[in-house]
Amino acid sequence: MNTSARAIGWCCGVCVLANSLAQADDWTQWRGENRDARVTNFAAPATWPTELKQVWKVTVGDGVATPALAGGKLYVFARDGGNEVLRCLDAATGKELWSDSYAARQITGAAGGFPGPRCSPAVDEGKVCVIGVHGVVTCYEAETGRRLWQNRDFEGEVPRFNTSSSPLILNGLCIAQLGAGNTGGLVALELDSGTVRWKWIGDGPAYASPAIIQLDNVTAIVAPTEAKMVAVNAADGNLMWEQNYTQGRYNAASPIVAGNLLIFAGPNRGATALRVSISGGRLSVSEAWRNDESTVQFNTPVLRDNALFGLSAQNQLFCINAATGATTWSAPIDPNAPQPPAGGDRAGGERGQRGEQGQRGEQGQRGEQGQRGEQGQRGEQGQRGERGGPPGGGRRGGGGGGGGYGSVVDAGNVMVALNPSGRLVVFAPHDGEYQELASYKVASEGTYAYPILDGPHIFVKDRDSVILYSVR
């Protein structure tokens, strides 16, 4: 083939890829378009290849925030040098279309092993909103990258392991969890101007992100805080419901909404399903079921039909019947990797979070030897176990030691899981038994972000890069 023919073939391939990405489902925010970790257009092959084909790889900076995919563009939020930077990439080629950065001081102490952003960008209504590790909220024009506004009202008021709750865009508002302790809460900022529309102040965020629940034409924001689970009216911020709630030492799994069913999952608490109703502007709840067998720590399970799929703190993929709460199967995400010791399934385990080994005493008050020091970086999200392991013993996260790190995506006729060691596992969405379909090494380390599945493609964010793979 001559040079001209090769060039034409390459251009045609790029055009086909660009067209398929432009027509694909978007992943516009934390856990995807509907915040449920579900995609509908993934083109899973009838026979999975021996290896995935790498299409491109681009260095973007340090961070564990999942990118956002919208209209054929990939929005990646990371740290580069002394700045936090938002990049807009052409999803087909990886070419940078625009970027903007602002100075952000270095993280020190317990969270220092994870210097980059944790919060996923939210894209909607022609805008992109991001929250930096110090609680700075910034809004951009999605097409051009023009910075529209920046809110620093809560700058520096952050949870112990820094801001980790991803924003959502709803009805012309950017809704964010900001602050810390009893001076923190939920804030709604007008998307066009950044003006504060409403606030609910009562308890600052932990390390999970809010969800939306709709009941009788009322939209509520359900959010885990440092010590509670709360619901506020999305229109005015009025409190509709709250209860004391902690998933072990901290709340790191986001709530799951399915109609009037609200599911919480986390260490020491297993999974709990509540039936929610509304009356007189207030929510009331009743317990539907509780499962203490399959606990999660740093990931949020996925609800598909009548089954809840997740990754436990012992690195076990599991399935729970969402009608009864019974565990139907569990299996290691990587059978060849050493599994966490018994007891680690509970909050890393109770030993690491509740202080059974002195974590909260002589050793644990500061991480102290398992969390804040060399072994404990990246704390609450436990992210980046490669550089500083999870809380509760300093074990390495995801597949190789400490458990509960990773993500699970409902991709139609398959489920896909990714752990921090770069192991991507494809399995069948069966609620009766575990059936692995394929397994790949997609990165060397640091894959804490969700994989984004789009047509025949998979985007993977590792420690400092984004990689596009093809399953064809």
From residue 260, give the alpha-carbon distance in Å to each of 273, 277, 310: 10, 7, 21
State the pLDDT at residue 110: 83
Asked if the structure places residue 20 within a domain, the reply is: no
The secondary element (H helix, E strand) that includes residue 14 is: helix 3-22
3-state helix, strand, coil in the chain (%, to 5): 5, 40, 55
Q: How confident is the model at residue 60 (pLDDT cuts 50, 70, 90)?
A: very high
State the pLDDT at residue 339: 62
CATH of the domain at 273: 2.130.10.10
Angle at 69 between CA 67 and CA 70, to 5 degrees: 145
Count of H-run helices and E-run strands, the chain: 3, 32
Asked if the structure places residue 19 within a domain, the reply is: no
* More confident call, 381 vs 258: 258
pLDDT for 50 beyond 70: yes
Q: How confident is the model at residue 338 (pLDDT cuts 50, 70, 90)?
A: low
Q: How confident is the model over 418-447, as pLDDT tens digits?
A: 999 999 999 999 999 999 999 999 998 899
Report the range out of 22-31, 110-119, 174-183, 295-304 with the highest average pLDDT: 174-183
Residue count of the chain, please give it.
Answer: 472
Order of strands across the sheet that contains 96-103: 68-70, 73-80, 83-90, 96-103
Residue with tokens 């793979």: 469
Cβ neighbours, 10 Å, residue 130: 28
- For the segment 320-345, the average pLDDT, to the nearest whole number, is 78
DSSP class per residue in 423-440: EEEEE---SSS--EEEEE
Q: How confident is the model at residue 387 (pLDDT cuts 50, 70, 90)?
A: very low
295/311 Cα distance (integer angstroms): 8
User: Whole-prediction pTM value?
Assistant: 0.85
State the pLDDT at residue 340: 56
CA 402 to chain centre: 18
- For the segment 207-230, the average pLDDT, to the nearest whole number, is 96
Q: How confident is the model over 162-211, as pLDDT tens digits?
A: 999 999 999 999 999 999 999 999 999 999 999 999 999 999 999 999 99
Query: How many independent structural domains does the chain possess?
Result: 1
Angle at 119 between CA 114 and CA 120, to 5 degrees: 125
Mean pLDDT, the chain, whole residue set: 84
> What are the φ/ψ torsions at residue 6 (nearest 5 degrees)?
-65, -40
Pair of tokens at residue 87: 């990049």
Coil, strand or helix at 22: helix
180/164 Cα distance (integer angstroms): 12
235/168 Cα distance (integer angstroms): 14
- For the segment 71-78, the average pLDDT, to the nearest whole number, is 98
Cβ neighbours, 10 Å, residue 184: 24
pLDDT for 24 beyond 60: no
DSSP 8-state class, residue 405: B
- For the segment 259-287, the average pLDDT, to the nearest whole number, is 89
Q: Which amino acid is at 267?
A: P
Asked if the structure places residue 290 within a domain, the reply is: yes
CA 228 to chain centre: 20
Pair of tokens at residue 189: 């900022």
pLDDT for 385 beyond 80: no
Domain boundaries, position 213: 26-470
DSSP class per residue in 207-236: SS--EEEEETTEEEEEEEBSSEEEEEETTT
Q: How confident is the model over 117-150, as pLDDT tens digits?
A: 999 999 999 999 999 999 999 999 999 999 999 9
* More confident call, 298 vs 324: 324
Residues 6 or more apart in contact with residue 136 via CB below 8 angstroms: 84, 102, 104, 150, 151, 152, 155
Residues 6 or more apart in contact with residue 172 via CB below 8 angstroms: 125, 190, 191, 192
pLDDT for 301 beyond 70: yes
- For the segment 354-361, the average pLDDT, to the nearest whole number, is 32
- For the segment 360-379, the average pLDDT, to the nearest whole number, is 33
317/312 Cα distance (integer angstroms): 6
Asked if the structure places residue 347 within a domain, the reply is: yes
pLDDT for 27 beyond 80: yes
Asked if the structure places residue 270 within a domain, the reply is: yes
pLDDT for 457 beyond 90: yes
Asked if the structure places residue 172 within a domain, the reply is: yes
The secondary element (H helix, E strand) that includes residue 5 is: helix 3-22
Q: How confident is the model at residue 394 (pLDDT cuts 50, 70, 90)?
A: very low
Handedness of CA 410, 247, 207, 202 (dihedral sign): positive
- For the segment 71-75, the average pLDDT, to the nearest whole number, is 98
Pair of tokens at residue 394: 């300093």
Asked if the structure places residue 422 within a domain, the reply is: yes
DSSP 8-state class, residue 38: B
| Beta bridge mates, 318 | 310, 330
pLDDT for 466 beyond 90: yes
- For the segment 100-124, the average pLDDT, to the nearest whole number, is 95
Asked if the structure places residue 11 within a domain, the reply is: no
404/300 Cα distance (integer angstroms): 10
